[in-house]
């Protein structure tokens, strides 16, 4: 069975399989898993890397399934490196890797660790064509997956979920939901033509953009509120400043949703990096 649509041979097959690794969208969930481990404030053990592998497999499943549906089923994309059979092989490999990883976590930790991993694969597999046609599930799928990656990364280290880690997960989901609304707006014209009901299609691009930045402001406000309440370290407010600065530049991009998405995804990297410093090093005086 041919895996690559364009060339034959093992090298071409491997290249086609690797093409479904999309670093821009994979880094935030993987970083969230690592951040969850850091929140445990313990030495990061081998289980943290097993959880990273599980999260990766869930994301790979999402990318392969999305590409399969968009090209082979809907005819939405102009090209795809994998044949339909190749997509099925990739899905089988990713699912097998996910099953092995979650089994290891179940044996080494407990069933709760498995339960926190399962949403990542389910959201990835069901994103297209089940979840991506509804404005709520299309928007929340990716952010919720990241939230569970954070919770799972923490739980496999500490075997508990603190108020702090749950609050961080909520903040991440809200902020990333705003970014996802902007990202979905990049396909507004096509989605509207095929009656794909994203937030941008339902509300219109202008109102969707306002809703997106409203979600981001709400998430950043949550960081400040949790810092004032002592749930987050005071230095975490620095992440608000860092993300807010980039978001302001993205907002100035006007109707260029692709540029705004690019900036906001990178702002999420910066946001997370500052939070890692705030949580691990606690730089402010009196932040014990």
pLDDT reading at 286 higher than 70 = no
- Angle at CA 256, nearest 5°, toward 252 and 257? 105
Domain termination residue (choose one: 109, 127, 161): 161
Q: What's the confidence (pLDDT) of residue 283?
A: 60
Q: Distances from the Cα of 73 to the Cαs of 83, 87, 93, 271, in angstroms? A: 12, 12, 21, 37
How many structural domains comprise the chain?
A: 2
pLDDT band at 104 (very low <50, low <70, confident <90, very high): very high
Q: Are residues 24 and 53 in the same domain?
A: yes
Please report whether residue 3 resides in a domain. no
Q: Are residues 103 and 146 in the same domain?
A: yes
Distance CA 152, CA 94 (A): 19
Please report whether residue 199 resides in a domain. yes
CATH code where residue 79 lies: 1.10.357.140
Q: Tell me: the pLDDT tens digits for 240-250?
A: 999 999 999 99
Share of the chain above pLDDT 90, in %: 76
Cα of 27 vs its chain's centroid, Å: 8
Domain that holds residue 238: 162-280
pLDDT band at 287 (very low <50, low <70, confident <90, very high): very low
Q: Are residues 29 and 144 in the same domain?
A: yes
Q: Are residues 154 and 167 in the same domain?
A: no
Across the range 17-33, mean pLDDT stands at 93
Across the range 101-124, mean pLDDT stands at 96
Q: Tell me: the pLDDT tens digits for 9-21?
A: 999 999 999 999 9
CATH code where residue 197 lies: 1.20.120
Distance CA 120, CA 141 (A): 9
Q: Tell me: the pLDDT tens digits for 125-144?
A: 998 888 988 899 999 999 99
Distance CA 31, CA 141 (A): 17
Distance CA 259, CA 67 (A): 22
Distance CA 16, CA 93 (A): 14
> Is 196 within 8 Å of 133 (Cβ atoms)?
yes
pLDDT reading at 202 higher than 90 = yes
């Amino acid at each position: 069975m041919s895996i690559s649509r364009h060339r034959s041979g093992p090298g071409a097959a491997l290249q086609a399989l690797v093409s479904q690794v999309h670093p821009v969208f994979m880094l935030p969930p993987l970083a969230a898993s690592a951040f969850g481990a850091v929140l445990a404030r313990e030495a990061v053990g081998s289980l943290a890397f097993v959880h990273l592998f599980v999260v990766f497999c869930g994301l790979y499943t999402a990318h392969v399934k999305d590409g399969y549906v968009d090209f082979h089923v809907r005819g939405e994309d102009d090209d795809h490196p994998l044949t339909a059979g190749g997509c099925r092989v990739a899905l089988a490999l990713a699912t097998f890797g996910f099953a092995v990883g979650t089994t290891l976590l179940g044996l080494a930790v407990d069933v709760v660790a498995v339960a926190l991993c399962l949403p990542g694969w389910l959201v990835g597999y069901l994103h297209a064509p089940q979840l991506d046609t509804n404005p709520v599930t299309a928007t929340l799928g990716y952010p919720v997956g990241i939230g569970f990656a954070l919770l799972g990364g923490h739980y496999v280290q500490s075997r508990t979920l603190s108020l702090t880690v749950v609050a961080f997960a909520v903040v991440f989901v809200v902020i990333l939901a705003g970014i996802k609304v902007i990202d979905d707006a990049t396909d507004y014209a096509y989605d509207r033509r095929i009656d794909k009901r994203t937030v941008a299609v339902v509300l219109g691009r202008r109102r969707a953009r306002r809703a997106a930045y409203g979600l981001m402001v709400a998430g950043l406000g949550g960081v400040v509120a949790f810092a004032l309440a002592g749930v987050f370290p005071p230095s975490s407010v620095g992440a608000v400043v860092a993300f807010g600065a980039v978001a302001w530049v993205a907002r100035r991009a006007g109707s260029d949703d692709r540029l705004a998405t690019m900036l906001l995804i990178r702002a999420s990297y910066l946001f997370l990096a500052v939070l890692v410093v705030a949580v691990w090093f606690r730089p402010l005086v009196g932040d014990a």
